[in-house]
Structure 1
Amino acid sequence: MARRVAEHGEADLPWTMAAETMAAAVSPARGYALADEAFALVEPARTGGVVLRTLVVARQARGRGLGRRMVEALAGILPGQDLLIAADTPEDLAPGFLARTGFERTAIAQFEMELDLSERVAAAFDEKKERS
């Protein structure tokens, strides 16, 4: 799978879809190929369903419906499962394809938090210095 993503994927794929990330994928992630021209990697979602991590169509085969056929094949292989696109997927990656194949935007419950460790490191250093 990783070799196919490296060979046929765009050079600027997000890190979550890059060949190096695909090479590190382990069970329960599963890779699928269609006619050796379309490739997908899926993994179970924590909330149920299956996350489509990557779907790549060989450059010479694009525009022939292989991406759609791969989604249909996944529906047959994974009956009754929802096929999800992760929230960290860039919105502009393939909006036309996603809409044409029936993907719909959903609300997400996601937030981002930050902890500035530099203050803690400085405080710990000062505390250690005082004890010396």
Structure 2
Amino acid sequence: MRQRFPGLTLVSAGQLPLAALAALFEAAFSGYAVPIRQNAALLAARVRSEQIDLEHSRVALRDGAPCALCLLARRGDTMRIAAMGVVPAARGAGLGRLLLDEAIAVAREQRAARLLLEVLGSNAVARRLYERAGLRPRRRLLGWQRAPFTPRAEAALRRTHCIELARALGADHALDWPWQLAPASVASGYAWMSTYAIADKAYAWIDDRARDRLALGHLFVAPHARGAGYARRLLVSLQAHFPGRAWTIPPLVPEEFGGAVLEALGFTRSALDQVEMELALG
């Protein structure tokens, strides 16, 4: 297939300085449905938290200039396409399929048992590309939102370390978290996330950088404390701590997780969702 791309070479993403890779990442997602801003510090945090393997990730060079990338992550026997994109000037020529085929080949060479990725539900073109390569939908990941409210009461809220939340998540073996919400991601600590808790019963993992809203990654109640209203108490306490801010939950919540609980807490589905897809390699 590479004969179709004269002047094109694929190299390890580890060959690029992190700042150059971050600039390529941002350019490759130009015009994406969700605006993406990237710099070396943010990309470094993502590499650490998602266990992105830069050595086995790929960058496409056309006449020596970076024009596309595919970032691969690995945990155990599972690999994941953490990001794949092509700069606008190089789109429409089949580079996406070239990078996807390369990612599958690398995953096989590394003896991975399966390859995962997420794609926006509205991105029909990308979904067809992945399906033609053999990936199949595994589940839907939903986003949620809520308007700010005036809290009537407040529980004892404490700031804690992400490791405490990761341990609590890891102890609940019944839940199959998506990659970015898995205990390994939480434990590695996205630099922009903060963790709050009520005792050892309920935890929230939030991004509070925006002045008008809170992005909620986790609202987790430990199994021994469920059914006692701790999710609501934690939400109320956080709203009191961050008054006037609206709430967003990125489209990472599995459809089978907590929808009734979120609705009871006043959340509604957002327009964005993702499809988690899987290719069995064993």
Q: Which has the higher strand share?
A: 2
What is the total number of aligned residue pairs between the two structures? 111
Moved over 4 A (4+): 45-48
SS at match of 1:28: coil
Question: 1:106 deviation in Å?
Answer: 2.8
Q: Which residue of 2 aligns with 1:83?
A: 247
1:48 CA displacement: 5.1
Deviation at 1:92, TM superposition (A): 2.4
Deviations 1:15-45 (A, max 9, x none): 2221101012233310011021111101147
What's 1:15 paired with?
179
Matching of residue 30 in structure 1 with residue 194 in structure 2:
yes
Question: Which has a greater percent of helix?
Answer: 1
What is the identity, as a one-letter code, of the residue corresponding to 2:260? G
Question: Identity of counterpart residues, as a percentage?
Answer: 31
Deviations 1:20-75 (A, max 9, x none): 01012233310011021111101147795221111211111110011111111111
Displacement of 1:83 in angstroms is 1.5
- 1:104 corresponds to: 268
Shift of 1:88: 2.6
CA contact (8 A) 2:217 2:250 kept: yes
Q: What is the root-mean-square deviation in Å for CA atoms of aligned residues?
A: 2.6
Structure 1 residues 6 and 34: CA distance shift in structure 2, 3 A: same
Q: In structure 2, which of residues 206, 218, 224 is the aligned counterpart of residue 54 of structure 1?
A: 218
Structure 2: 5+ residue runs without aligned partners? 1-164, 276-282
User: Please, which runs of 5 or more residues in structure 1 have no aligned partner?
Assistant: 113-132
TM superposition score normalised by structure 2? 0.36
Instruction: Give TM-score scaled by structure 1 length.
Output: 0.71
Instruction: Report the counterpart of residue 92 of structure 1 in structure 2.
Output: 256
CA contact (8 A) 1:8 1:56 kept: no
User: Whole-Å Cα distance in 1 between the matches of residues 200 and 274 of structure 2?
Assistant: 39
Q: SS of 2:176's equivalent? A: coil
Q: Quick one: higher RCO (CA 8 Å, sep 6+), 1 or 2?
A: 2
